[in-house]
Structure 1
Amino acid sequence: MALTQIAAAKCFGGQQLVCEHDSDACGVTMRFGLYLPPQAEHGPCPAITWLSGLTCTEQNFITKAGAQRAAAELGVILVAPDTSPRGPNVADAPDGAYDLGLGAGFYVNATAQPYAAHYHMERYVAEELPMVLAAHFPLDRRRHGLSGHSMGGHGALTLHLKYPDIFRSVSAFAPIVAPAQVPWGQKAFSAYLGRDPEVWADHDATALVTRQPTDAAILIDQGSDDPFLTEQLRPDLFAAACEAAGQSLTLRHQPGYDHSYYFVASFIDDHLRHHLAAWQRR
């Protein structure tokens, strides 16, 4: 599990790194950002893996969210993988659309061509990346959570629900909670997974929580002025499913906030503390 460090900067007493490695899951070189708080010099620390949204790379979260200050205070490692495989042989959207292909992996294991060769982001995030992190950094794997934004919020919710023993806490910003019922998800799932809605349900948080709720307390922040709220995000659907399933959910509607990283930066400290509280309860 060789790892190459390609950037490092001192930040709030810790280190903001960017690393890359050859991925068996995706068959290409994958890159991730990683913040090591000062406490990591003295022993294992809990971690939050952040999953970014459409068009993003590992850079969006580490440069825009402003999460390092609170992570340094709380002693939390932050991990920010890329949103898709990349490379000259990696399939992209035929028309270059922003919501499919490069930068839009949707955190699933693709089974349909031409994406099946490389688009295995579920396996990468849930299986390979935790092993890479544990081999190179002082990660406390008993305290590992997921968070994310938009497409990444979808990934955080679904991967927590599918792998609750790996990702023991979860939160999200403006997540795509019911991708099987909205245009972004329907387009991506058709391309990556084929056209069977029963297959899609295994990657849809609203469907998953109805049959496999967890004992985690889920936190979601949603901006009321988000232009994608009513067509693409539909938090009401997930809230109803959680209530029916007995899943603990705090859904906060934030007046005046949109879909941008200004919104994420405004509440990211709350989310880090949410994860810390969840780990302390276990």
Structure 2
Amino acid sequence: MSLKLIEQHCIFDGEQYKYRHYSEVLQCDMTFSIYLPSNKERKKIPLIWWLSGLTCTDDNFSQKSGFQRLAEKYQVAVIIPDTSPRGENVANDEAWDLGQGAGFYLNATQDPWAKNYKMYTYITDELSGIASTLVPNFSGKESIMGHSMGGHGAFVIGMKNASRFKAISAFSPILSPSQVPWGIKAFSSYLGEDKTAWKEWDASELIKETGMPPILISQGTADTFYPEQLVETTFLENARESNQEVNYKKIEGYDHSYFFIATFLDDHFAFHMKHLS
């Protein structure tokens, strides 16, 4: 495994690391960030995954949210993958909502994307294996959270692996990608025009299954992408019909930014730790 440490910072008594490695799944070099709490008492440490949104990298959450204070408080590790494969030889698009920076956390089946765009397998298999070696005293307990496109990814990965992830939460998530412009564009490109193939990557379809982890969602009312890209109606209706536990919070005055995330991150960490303890 070609794992290279490229950054290390002490913060709130823990350590924030940034690594580069060659991904066999994505066939390119990738970076990811991971926070390890101080663990002075040498206890078992759970792991939270954070998935970022369109145009982001693994730096946005680590540098803007201040999550490390909470991760140290709760003694939980946090891993942050990049949002897509990267590099000169990786397919891309001129638009900001497709291609590099916009991997949508799925496994693409259409050319030219199919060669590299397998973020689902990268996260659930390859990067998971790496993470398990980096977290000292790993408890084996995991949960997943994300923002916008990363909220979509958190739901897809969390619900397709419901026995693995103890809880799922999201800020401003794309809940019905098959019905909104961002998702339709990405799914048409990555998965093709057969909409039956889209269902396994759509949270509003996956929520119909029983036995899903508990869910928390925060959505700001001043979000410029709401409701067009982030409409919740179908998801919540399907959740009710399947008796799924969903706490959907619509919060007055907040937008799509990291100001929103930083404000309510305490609530999300408390939610995750309730299920990871």
TM bucket normalised to smaller? over 0.9
- CA offsets 1:51-95 (integer angstroms, 9 cap, x no match): 0000000000000111000110100111111000001100001xx
Q: Which runs of 5+ in 2 are unaligned?
A: none
Match of 1:108 in 2: 106
Contact residue 40 and residue 75 of structure 1 kept, 8 A: no
Query: Matches of 2:51 and 2:137 in 1, distance apart?
Result: 18
Partner amino acid for 2:110? A
Which of 152, 155, 160 pairs up with 1:154? 152
Q: Is 1:14 paired with 2:10?
A: no
Other-structure match for 1:260: 257
Give the residue type in structure 1 aligned to 2:249: R
The number of residue pairs the alignment matches comes to: 277
1:140 corresponds to: 138
User: 1:89 aligns to what?
Assistant: 89
Aligned to 2:273: 276
Q: Which residue of 2 aligns with 1:201?
A: 199
Any unmatched runs of 5+ in structure 1?
none
- CA distance in structure 1 between the aligned counterparts of 2:45 and 2:139, rounded to whole angstroms: 9
Which of 219, 222, 225 is the aligned partner of 1:225?
222
Match of 1:117 in 2: 115
Matches within 5 A, 1:57-72: 57-72=57-72
Q: Taking every aligned residue pair, what percent have the same amino acid on both sides? A: 44
Q: Contact 1:161–1:213 at 8 Å: present in 2 too?
A: no
1:43 to 1:26, Cα distance in 2 relative to 1, 3 A? farther
The residue type equivalent to 2:175 in the other structure is V
C-alpha distance in 2 between matches for 1:134 and 1:230: 38
| 8 Å contact from structure 2 (residues 3, 19) kept in 1 | yes
Q: Deviations over 1:130-158 (max 9, x none)?
A: 10111233263531111000000000011
- Give the conservation status (yes or no) of the 8 Å contact 1:77–1:139: no
1:168: how far off? 2.1
Q: Deviations over 1:5-27 (max 9, x none)?
A: 10001000010110111111101
Which whole-Å CA distance do the structure 2 matches of 1:261 and 1:153 have between them?
14
Over aligned residues, Cα RMSD in angstroms? Answer: 1.3
**Matches of 1:112 and 1:223 in 2, distance apart?**
34
Distance apart, 1:40 and its partner CA: 7.3
Structure with the bigger percentage of helix: 1
Whether contact under 8 Å (2:14, 2:72) holds in the other structure is: yes
Amino acid at match of 2:121: R
Instruction: Identify the range of structure 1 (246-255 vs 19-28) with the bigger mean alpha-carbon deviation.
Output: 19-28
Deviates more, 1:270-279 or 1:184-193: 270-279
Which residue in 2 is equivalent to 1:98?
Answer: 96
After TM superposition, give the deviation of residue 196 of structure 1 in Å: 0.8
Which residue number in structure 1 is paired with residue 168 of structure 2?
A: 170
Deviations 1:176-229, CA, capped at 9 Å, x for gaps: 00000000000000100101111001000001111x233421000000111111
TM-score (norm 1): 0.95
1:181 aligns with 2:179: yes
4+ residue stretches of structure 1 with deviation over 6 A?
none
The AA in structure 2 aligned to 1:75 is Q
